[in-house]
Structure 1
Amino acid sequence: MQVLKFGGTSVANPENIERVLNIVNHKAQKVAVVVSAFGGITDLLLHTAAVAANKDLTYKESFEEIEKRHLDAVKALIPITEQSATLSKVKSELNQLETLFQGAYLLGELSPRTADIVASYGELLSSFIIAEAAKQKGIDTIRKDSRELIKTSHGYGKATVDFKATNANCKAFFEKNTNRVVILPGFVASTESGETTTLGRGGSDYTAAIIAAALDVDDLEIWTDVSGMFTANPKLVKQAFPIEHISYQEAMELSHFGAKVIYPPTIQPVLSKEIPIWVKNTFEPEHPGTYITKNTNGKAKPVKGISHIEKIALVTLEGASMVGIPGFSKRLFEVLFQEGINIILITQASSEHSICLAIAEAEAETAKKAIDEVFAYEISLGKVEPAILEKGQAIIALVGDNMKSHQGLSGKMFSSLGKNNVNIRAIAQGASEKNISAVIDKRDVKKALNTLHESFFEDNVRQLNLFVTGVGNVGEKFLNQIRQQQDYLKEKLRLNLRVVALSNSRTMVFAEDGVDLENWHEILAKGEKASLDGFLDKVRELNLRNSIFVDNTANEAVSDKYADYLKNSIAVVTCNKIACSSDFDKYQELKDLSRKYNAPFLFETNVGAGLPIIDTLKNLIASGDNVRKIQAVLSGSLNFVFNNFKEGVSFHDVVKQAQEEGYTEPDPKIDLSGVDVARKILILARESKNTIDLKDIENESFLPKESLDTSTNEDFFASLKKHENEFNTLYAEAAAKNCRLKYVAQFEDGRAKVGLQHIPEGHDFYNLEGSDNIVLFYTDRYPEQPLIVKGAGAGAEVTASGIFADVIRVGKV
Structure 2
Amino acid sequence: MYVLKFGGTSVANAQNISLVIDIITKASQNEKIAVVVSAFGNTTNMLLKTAELAAIKDEYFRELLQEIENRHIQVIKDLIPVTEQSSIISHTKRLLNYLETLFEGCFLLRELTPKTLATIASFGELLSSYIISEVMLVRKLDSTYKDSRELIIASESYENAQVDMKLTHKNCQSYFENNQKQIVILPGFIAATENGETTTLGRGGSDYTAALIAAAVNAKELQIWTDVSGMYTANPRIVKQATPIPQISYQEAMELSHFGAKVIYPPTIQPVLHKEIPILIKNTFDPEQEGTRITKNPNGKQQAVKGISYIENISLLTLEGSGMIGIPGFSKRLFETLLAQKINIVLITQASSEHSICIGINDKEASSAKIALDETFAYEIISKKVDPILVEQQLSIIALVGENMKNHQGLSGKMFSMLGKNNVNIRAIAQGASEKNISAVINSEDAKKALNALHEEFFEEKRKQLNLFVTGVGNVGERFLAQIKQQHEYLIKQLKLNIRVIGISNSRTMYFEEEGIDLGKWKDNLAKGSKASLEEFHETIKSLNLRNSIFIDITADHNVSKVYEHYLRNNIAVVTCNKIACASEYDNYQTLKRVSQKYNAPFLFETNVGAGLPIIDTLKNLIASGDRVHKIQAVLSGSLNFVFNNFSNENTFHDVVAQAQKEGYTEPDPKIDLSGIDVARKILILARESGYVMELEEIENDSFLPEKTLATDNNEDFYASLTEYEAHFQEIYKKANDKNCRLKYVATFEDGKAKVGLQHIPADHPFYNLEGSDNIVLFFTDRYVMQPLQIKGAGAGTEVTASGIFADVIRVGKF
Query: Structure 2-normalised TM-score?
Result: 0.98
What is residue 802 of structure 1 aligned with on the other side?
804
Aligned mates of 2:651, 2:21 — CA distance in 1: 87
What is residue 3 of structure 1 aligned with on the other side?
3
* Preserved contact between residue 151 and residue 171 of structure 2 (Cα < 8 Å): yes
The correspondence of residues 352-501 of structure 1 with structure 2, limited to 5 A, is: 352-501=354-503
* Preserved contact between residue 3 and residue 221 of structure 1 (Cα < 8 Å): yes
What is residue 329 of structure 1 aligned with on the other side?
331
**Partner residue of 2:517 out of 504, 515, 518:** 515
1:14 matches 2:14 = yes
What amino acid is aligned across from residue 2 of structure 1 in structure 2?
Y
Aligned mates of 1:362, 1:119 — CA distance in 2: 22
Aligned mates of 2:649, 2:75 — CA distance in 1: 91
Aligned mates of 1:309, 1:114 — CA distance in 2: 31
The correspondence of residues 123-202 of structure 1 with structure 2, limited to 5 A, is: 123-202=125-204
What amino acid is aligned across from residue 253 of structure 1 in structure 2?
E
Question: Structure 1, residues 743-802: CA drift from partner, whole Å, max 9, x if none?
Answer: 111122222111111222222212211111111111222222211111111111000000
Aligned mates of 1:587, 1:111 — CA distance in 2: 67
Question: Structure 1, residues 491-522: CA drift from partner, whole Å, max 9, x if none?
Answer: 11000111111111121111111111112222
1:299 matches 2:279 = no
**Partner residue of 2:564 out of 543, 562, 565:** 562
What amino acid is aligned across from residue 335 of structure 1 in structure 2?
T
Greater shift in the superposed pair: 615-624 or 250-259: 615-624
Shift of 1:217: 0.7
Secondary structure of 1:655's aligned partner: helix
* Preserved contact between residue 468 and residue 552 of structure 1 (Cα < 8 Å): yes
Greater shift in the superposed pair: 637-646 or 671-680: 637-646
What amino acid is aligned across from residue 111 of structure 1 in structure 2?
T
What amino acid is aligned across from residue 78 of structure 2 in structure 1?
A
What is residue 42 of structure 1 aligned with on the other side?
44
Aligned mates of 2:193, 2:689 — CA distance in 1: 77
Shift of 1:166: 0.7
**Partner residue of 1:98 out of 90, 97, 100:** 100
1:122 matches 2:134 = no
Shift of 1:664: 0.7
What is residue 67 of structure 1 aligned with on the other side?
69
Shift of 1:300: 3.6
Aligned mates of 1:631, 1:326 — CA distance in 2: 73
Aligned mates of 1:235, 1:558 — CA distance in 2: 34
The correspondence of residues 616-655 of structure 1 with structure 2, limited to 5 A, is: 616-655=618-657
Greater shift in the superposed pair: 103-112 or 369-378: 103-112
* Preserved contact between residue 78 and residue 136 of structure 1 (Cα < 8 Å): yes
Secondary structure of 1:778's aligned partner: strand
* Preserved contact between residue 636 and residue 792 of structure 1 (Cα < 8 Å): yes
Secondary structure of 2:346's aligned partner: strand
Shift of 1:156: 2.3
What amino acid is aligned across from residue 726 of structure 1 in structure 2?
H
1:761 matches 2:763 = yes
What is residue 750 of structure 2 aligned with on the other side?
748
Aligned residues: 813
Greater shift in the superposed pair: 798-807 or 396-405: 396-405
Unpaired segments ≥5 residues, structure 2: none
What is residue 729 of structure 2 aligned with on the other side?
727
Aligned mates of 1:693, 1:112 — CA distance in 2: 75
Aligned mates of 1:571, 1:9 — CA distance in 2: 42
Shift of 1:308: 0.9
Shift of 1:648: 2.1
Shift of 1:264: 1.6
What is residue 23 of structure 2 aligned with on the other side?
23
Question: Structure 1, residues 720-758: CA drift from partner, whole Å, max 9, x if none?
Answer: 111111111112222222222111111222221111112
Secondary structure of 1:437's aligned partner: strand
What amino acid is aligned across from residue 414 of structure 1 in structure 2?
F
* Preserved contact between residue 399 and residue 439 of structure 2 (Cα < 8 Å): yes
Aligned mates of 1:745, 1:298 — CA distance in 2: 66
Greater shift in the superposed pair: 758-767 or 17-26: 758-767
* Preserved contact between residue 204 and residue 268 of structure 2 (Cα < 8 Å): no
What amino acid is aligned across from residue 8 of structure 1 in structure 2?
G
Aligned mates of 1:101, 1:685 — CA distance in 2: 80
What is residue 320 of structure 2 aligned with on the other side?
318
What is residue 241 of structure 1 aligned with on the other side?
243
Aligned mates of 1:352, 1:653 — CA distance in 2: 79
Aligned mates of 1:519, 1:365 — CA distance in 2: 50
What is residue 53 of structure 2 aligned with on the other side?
51
Unpaired segments ≥5 residues, structure 1: none
Secondary structure of 2:609's aligned partner: helix
Aligned mates of 1:413, 1:85 — CA distance in 2: 60
Secondary structure of 2:365's aligned partner: helix
1:663 matches 2:661 = no
What amino acid is aligned across from residue 358 of structure 1 in structure 2?
G
What amino acid is aligned across from residue 357 of structure 1 in structure 2?
I
Secondary structure of 1:608's aligned partner: coil
Question: Structure 1, residues 579-615: CA drift from partner, whole Å, max 9, x if none?
Answer: 1111122212211221121111110000110011111
What amino acid is aligned across from residue 264 of structure 2 in structure 1?
I
What amino acid is aligned across from residue 32 of structure 2 in structure 1?
K
Secondary structure of 1:509's aligned partner: strand
1:227 matches 2:263 = no
Secondary structure of 1:754's aligned partner: strand
Aligned mates of 2:724, 2:196 — CA distance in 1: 105
Aligned mates of 2:199, 2:693 — CA distance in 1: 76
What amino acid is aligned across from residue 207 of structure 2 in structure 1?
D
Aligned mates of 1:108, 1:464 — CA distance in 2: 56
What is residue 347 of structure 1 aligned with on the other side?
349
Shift of 1:155: 1.9
Aligned mates of 1:70, 1:4 — CA distance in 2: 22
What amino acid is aligned across from residue 208 of structure 1 in structure 2?
A
What amino acid is aligned across from residue 225 of structure 1 in structure 2?
D
What amino acid is aligned across from residue 327 of structure 1 in structure 2?
G
* Preserved contact between residue 468 and residue 549 of structure 1 (Cα < 8 Å): yes
* Preserved contact between residue 467 and residue 549 of structure 1 (Cα < 8 Å): yes
What is residue 689 of structure 2 aligned with on the other side?
687
Question: Structure 1, residues 516-570: CA drift from partner, whole Å, max 9, x if none?
Answer: 1112222222222222112112111211111111111111111122112112111
The sequence identity of aligned pairs, in percent, is 68
* Preserved contact between residue 298 and residue 402 of structure 1 (Cα < 8 Å): no
What amino acid is aligned across from residue 382 of structure 1 in structure 2?
K
What amino acid is aligned across from residue 7 of structure 2 in structure 1?
G
* Preserved contact between residue 247 and residue 299 of structure 2 (Cα < 8 Å): no
Aligned mates of 1:713, 1:74 — CA distance in 2: 76
Secondary structure of 1:343's aligned partner: coil
Secondary structure of 1:714's aligned partner: helix
Shift of 1:298: 5.7
Aligned mates of 1:295, 1:737 — CA distance in 2: 88
Aligned mates of 2:391, 2:227 — CA distance in 1: 37
Shift of 1:699: 0.6
What amino acid is aligned across from residue 58 of structure 2 in structure 1?
D
Aligned mates of 1:738, 1:251 — CA distance in 2: 82
Aligned mates of 1:650, 1:193 — CA distance in 2: 105
The correspondence of residues 511-660 of structure 1 with structure 2, limited to 5 A, is: 511-660=513-662
Shift of 1:109: 2.4
Aligned mates of 1:374, 1:677 — CA distance in 2: 71
